[in-house]
Structure 1
Amino acid sequence: MDPIVSAEVIDFPAQFLALMRQALPNNDDFAEFISISQRPLRRAIRVNTLKISVKDFLALTAEYPWQLTPVPWCEEGFWVQLDDEQVPLGSYAEHLSGLFYIQEPSSMLPVQALFAADESPLSLMDMAAAPGSKTTQIAAKMANQGLIVANEYAASRVKVLHANISRCGVTNTALTHFDARVFGAALPEQFEAILLDAPCSGEGVIRKDPQAFAHWSLESTQEIAQTQRELLFSAFHALKPGGRLIYSTCTLNHIENQQVIASLIAAFPDAIAVESLGNLFPGAERVVTPEGYLHVFPQRFDSEGFFVASLRKTVGVTTLAHPGFKVGKLPFQPVPLKIKQAISEQAMAIGIQWDESLSLWQRDKELWLFPKQVESLMGKVKFSRLGFRLAEIHNKGYRWHHEAITALAKPMPTTFELTAEQASEWYRGRDIYPDTELPKGDCLVTYQQQVLGLVKIINQRIKNSLPRELVRNGPLFK
């Protein structure tokens, strides 16, 4: 089963309660906050429109043992109540193939704010990106066009970030692994939009994690706020004039929220315009602050607590001194046009296609696809991962990479559609022995018309090609 926190009495620190008393002066409201904090958090999902429309997803899952309730601020978001919990949400076929992402609705708000008023930025940074919920949401909003620089400071979380990006079919990212305080100096006024979902004390996630207050103190909150100020200043310097900066946290106190923003406005009073989010969605007026920020306490929508602010950079500011690090030589070379055409033809023969937003590069015998817009950043910052691997060259042609197949391949006339039972075997890493006749040679296998991989047909056996790290054990869909 998916991890659901059982209700338990939470011992709130006295200083935290004092802060909340100031923020929630109404006694009934304060009591409701304390009460709901003891209750388990509702689960929710977001449909990944890079792979399926909301309409088609609802039709596909209409007979499933769950009840979906729309999230008012995100048309792709739904609270989900499972009527049959034998199979965890994360083991549904639609999750494994990237059709939906398990995401708390409050955390969908920052990206909704980022794209408010139908803005369409083509160069964007997610400064604290892992585990990837907002990065994948941004990619869907951008329809995989343009560039997302997804940064994660914690090395242990970069792998998780990449796994979620890959599962969701995201192709327009470049991953970095830095303390994000360097970007204001390293990439001054580079991005049309920036999301800083800042590391915080996590007061808003208490319903999911009762240990959120295990190390809470007013002193640590002040220390975190200082880091947040430095990150926010860095983000502001990396933002182009006219660009939008979203600052968000999953905490509730003013120290890490309103006061952090106030410090930036005080430093650049003539270069910042606060954009009110009071009309972001029906009901936003219930959580909008006098400044125009969204301050979501958990009792407002039966959700996690969250804070979101939208800032517009109105004019350029003086750039910072470059941090002085050496980037090193990029170990890739662009593929010549003639060779690119030959590779493209070979790829199309098995159903893989890409558009002009991606460019083909080579490192030794590896072929990679990079977002074209990242080329202007090469040599300015070191990337931990650029784009994604397309194939390896070998003496018999190309060995196509699983990530490229699931992101780019479309069903072909020779594609073999698996049954639910066969797809379950696929995700368990087992070979499949269908009773029906199989195509000859290599072919794509699909389930629910979603490409799962490229396989070899050996006699009447489908040789499983799922990467070992993606093999699942335990209960799966039926």
Structure 2
Amino acid sequence: MHQNVYLPAEFLSEIEAILPSQLNMEDFIAACQRPLRKSIRVNTLKISIEAFLARAKSKGWQLEPVPWCEEGFWIEADESEVPLGNTAEHMSGLFYIQEASSMMPVSALFNDKDEEFSAVLDMAAAPGSKTTQIAAQMGNAGVLVANEFSASRVKVLHANIERCGVRNAALSNYDGRVFGGWLPEQFDAVLIDAPCSGEGTVRKDADAMKNWTKESVISISETQKDLIESAFHALKPNGVMVYSTCTLSIEENQQVCLHLKETFGDLVEFESLADLFTDADKSLTEEGFLHIFPQVYDCEGFFVARIRKTGAVEAPKVKKRLGKFPFEKASAKVQSDIAKQLKQALDISLPADASVWLRDNDVWLFPNALEPMLGEFRFSRMGIKIAEAHKKGYRWQHQVATALATGEEAMCVALSIEDAREWFMGRDIRPTDLSGKGEVFVKFDNDVIGLGKWVGNRIKNGLPRELVRDKNLF
């Protein structure tokens, strides 16, 4: 129990004033003092739900479905020896440890199964739970722009994208307020999981409310209004936006959405989330938003709104100084040569919806759907790096393993559990009675976990430093 959860008296008064009549404060406070149930989301870019359920059963993990996310499960697992984050399945990208309520915004964005999005913006993306969830919903097709304002968090975002096998993402590092002017009406869908006062997160962090004031709530809401306007301008006509927060105040939630409606009138249409999952009506507002108090579904406090842009809007005027774009699209001949060598070396075919781009000796694979934005915006990282050119050909890179390999390739070596541990700790390995030459995929339990290079009877480790673990491994 988190009996030491800090809940300021003024905050409790605010909650009491907005709490729906069917709920009571005693249950609210009791829910805030209960630890969160741990939850995970299956990464369908790497494994099917059915195959993951079989894997979980063999490990004795107890799973309970999250009602609003087909891939989401509450989990009970013995972590006394190995934390879930250090299991082979997690390090291989088969699942993401994600709070159940935070799965809801992406489920709401993709609520209409007949709607397909070829360009999506995740405006506040780190650490990557929702970004990787969106990429899985897109099936790695189209382009996913993942923006994060905090430079230090972009590294974490990239590491999670890499681990989960995402190849259609372009990362940027800006204040989200720039998108409306720089990329107006470029996106079929936008997720704005807005920075907020975090009132719903006390079950995860007992001190989350230590610095809470009503003044800070009002101040944050002004920033949120700027962000939602920017997101609206970045959205194509008839595009859909989801606005979400992990907070409870109406100033940061309903009032932000109503501000958008007041600003753009009939061009803003609120779409009800009543059918998102069974019992969604228990948290439905009169506008069709979901305003979730922690006692209702035993999760974090959360807010989700789905908004349709019904027509075009003139975008804010901006002056652009982009500088020279440092990449050059490979010629048809070079693309064909790289594709041929990759097939010969690693039995990998390049996806049809992506193209090879070059920067000095680096070889990158960009999603074709990104091209209209390349001359309009500066990204910090695009697509995946697949190779470095050298005198004798190409030196293939780790993301070929995470984002393109399936484990069925001819150039694969299956590792023992001991060798797999050594691999994840960044060490070279010596598989028993094997030797070879050139690059080779390594896999454990039929999951590709990396790309190495034969040096005699040793495979040189190619795991990027940010993915190396050094203790409590499976």
Quote how far apart the aligned CAs of 1:272 are: 1.0
- Distance in 1 separating the partners of 2:406 and 2:21: 56
1:332 matched to 2:324? The reply is no
Shift of 1:406: 1.9
Q: Is the 8 A contact 2:240 2:308 kept in 1?
A: yes
Task: Single out whichever of 355-364 and 422-431 deviates more from structure 2.
Answer: 422-431
In 2, Cα distance between equivalents of 1:414 and 1:264: 54
Give, in angstroms, the shift of residue 133 of structure 1: 0.6
2:464 — aligned with what?
Answer: 467
* CA distance in 2 between partners of 1:467 and 1:25 (Å): 49
Structure 2 CA distance for partners of 1:309 and 1:464, relative to 1, 3 Å = same
In the TM superposition, residue 455 of structure 1 has moved relative to its aligned partner by 2.1
Q: 1:57 aligns with which of 12, 28, 52?
A: 52
Determine if contact 2:2/2:206 at 8 Å carries over to the other structure: no
Tell me how far apart the structure 1 counterparts of residues 399 and 23 of structure 2 sit (CA, whole Å). 52
Larger deviation: 17-26 or 233-242? 17-26
Superposition RMSD on alpha carbons, in Å? Answer: 1.5
1:297 corresponds in structure 2 to: 293
Specify which of 348, 356, 361 is matched with residue 352 of structure 2: 356
- Preserved CA contact (<8 Å) 1:228 1:256: yes
Offset at 1:130?
0.6
Structure 1 residue corresponding to 2:445, chosen from 430, 435, 448: 448
CA gap of 1:225–1:84, structure 2 versus 1, over 3 A, is closer
Q: Of residues 13, 16, 20 in structure 2, which corresponds to 1:18?
A: 13
Residue 138 of structure 2 is matched in structure 1 by 142
Q: CA deviation at 1:25?
A: 5.3
Output the CA distance in 1 between the equivalents of 2:433 and 2:351.
35
Q: Counterpart in 2 of 1:3?
A: none
Aligned length, in residue pairs:
471
Measured in 2, the distance between the counterparts of 1:241 and 1:440 equals: 53
Q: Paired residue for 1:72?
A: 67
Structure 2 counterparts to residues 3-14 of structure 1, below 5 A: 7-14=2-9
Task: Please give the residue correspondences for 1:338-417 in structure 2 after superposition, counting only pairs within 5 Å.
Answer: 338-349=333-344, 350-411=346-407, 412-417=409-414
AA aligned opposite 2:275: N
Identity of aligned residues (%): 52
Contact kept, 8 Å, 1:67 with 1:83, in 2: the verdict is no
Q: Is the 8 A contact 1:65 1:84 kept in 2?
A: no
Q: More displaced, 136-145 or 279-288? A: 279-288
Corresponding residue for 1:428? 425
The aligned residue for residue 278 of structure 1 is 274
Q: 2:208 is paired with a residue of what secondary structure? A: helix
Q: Which amino acid aligns with 1:476?
A: L
What does residue 313 of structure 1 align with?
309
4+ residue runs over 3 A deviation: 25-28, 436-442
Give the structure 2 partner of residue 177 of structure 1.
173
Is 1:47 the counterpart of 2:42? The answer is yes
Cα drift, residue 443 of structure 1: 2.1
Tell me the distance in 2 between the aligned counterparts of 1:170 and 1:190: 21
Partner-residue secondary structure (3-state), 1:269: helix
2:258 maps to what in 1?
262
Distance 2:470 2:86 in 1: 9
Report the Cα distance in structure 2 between the residues aligned to 1:64 and 1:454, rounded to whole angstroms.
Answer: 26
CA distance in 1, matches of 2:338, 2:79: 47
Alpha carbons 2:199, 2:301 under 8 Å: kept:
yes
Asked if 2 retains the 8 angstrom alpha-carbon contact of 1:409 and 1:451, the reply is: yes
CA contact (8 A) 1:44 1:77 kept: yes
2:77 is aligned with what amino acid? L
Distance 1:27 1:142, change over 3 A: closer
Distance change (3 Å), C-alpha of 1:338 and 1:279: same
Whole-angstrom distance in 2 between the partners of 1:47 and 1:346: 33
Residue correspondence of structure 1 range 151-300 to structure 2 within 5 A: 151-300=147-296
Contact 2:347 2:411 (C-alpha < 8 Å) held by counterparts:
no
1:89 correspondence with 2:84: yes
Aligned counterpart in structure 1 of residue 102 of structure 2, from 107, 111, 124: 107
Q: Structure 1 residues 240 and 28, CA, compared in 2 at 3 Å: closer, same or farther?
A: closer
**Alpha-carbon distance between aligned partners in 2 of 1:347 and 1:395, rounded to the nearest angstrom:** 16
Structure 1: 5+ residue stretches without partners: 1-5
The superposition leaves residues 90-134 of structure 1 with CA deviations (integer Å, 9 ceiling, x where unpaired) of 001011010100101100000001011112111110000111111
Judge which range, 123-132 or 460-469, deviates more.
460-469
**Displacement of 1:155:** 0.7
Letter in 2 for 1:49: T
| CA deviation after TM superposition for structure 1 residue 28, in Å | 6.0
In the alignment, the residues of structure 2 paired with residue 121 and residue 435 of structure 1 have an alpha-carbon distance, to the nearest angstrom, of 47
- Match 2:127 to one of 125, 128, 131: 131
Change (3 A) 1:94 1:438: same
3-state SS, counterpart of residue 166 of structure 2: coil
Q: What is the CA–CA distance in structure 2 between the aligned matches of 1:124 and 1:317, rounded to whole Å?
A: 18
Q: Distance in 1 between matches of 2:261 and 2:300?
A: 27
* Alpha carbons of structure 1 residues 13 and 320: separation in structure 2 relative to 1, 3 Å: same
The alpha-carbon distance between structure 1 residues 437 and 378, as it changes in their structure 2 partners (threshold 3 A), is closer
> Structure 1 372/27 Cα, relative in aligned 2: closer, same or farther at 3 Å?
closer
TM-aligned CA distance change 1:234 to 1:414, over 3 Å: closer
Distance 1:24 1:177 in 2: 37
Once the two structures are overlaid, the 10-residue window that deviates more, 430-439 or 136-145, is: 430-439
Q: Secondary structure at the match of 1:159?
A: helix
CA distance in 2 between partners of 1:54 and 1:133 (Å): 17
* 1:19 Cα offset (Å): 1.4
TM-aligned CA deviation for residue 301 of structure 1: 1.0
Q: 1:476 to 1:291 in 2, by over 3 A?
A: same
Contact 2:436 2:455 in 1 (8 A): no
In 2: Cα distance, 1:409 partner to 1:210 partner: 42
Structure 1 residue 464: deviation in Å? 2.3
Q: Check whether the contact 1:247–1:310 (CA below 8 A) recurs between aligned residues.
A: yes
**Offset of 1:325 from its aligned partner?**
3.5
Evaluate the alpha carbon distance shift between residue 84 and residue 14 of structure 1 in structure 2; reply closer, same or farther with a 3 A threshold: closer
In 1, the alpha carbon distance for the partners of 2:360 and 2:459 equals 31
Q: Deviations over 1:372-411 (max 9, x none)?
A: 1111011211111111211110112111111222211233
1:233-256 CA-to-partner distances (Å, cap 9, x unmatched) read 111111111000100000011110
TM-score by length of 1: 0.96
> Which has the larger displacement, 7-16 or 67-76?
7-16
Once the two structures are overlaid, the 10-residue window that deviates more, 405-414 or 166-175, is: 405-414
What is the CA–CA distance in structure 2 between the aligned matches of 1:248 and 1:257, rounded to whole Å? 8
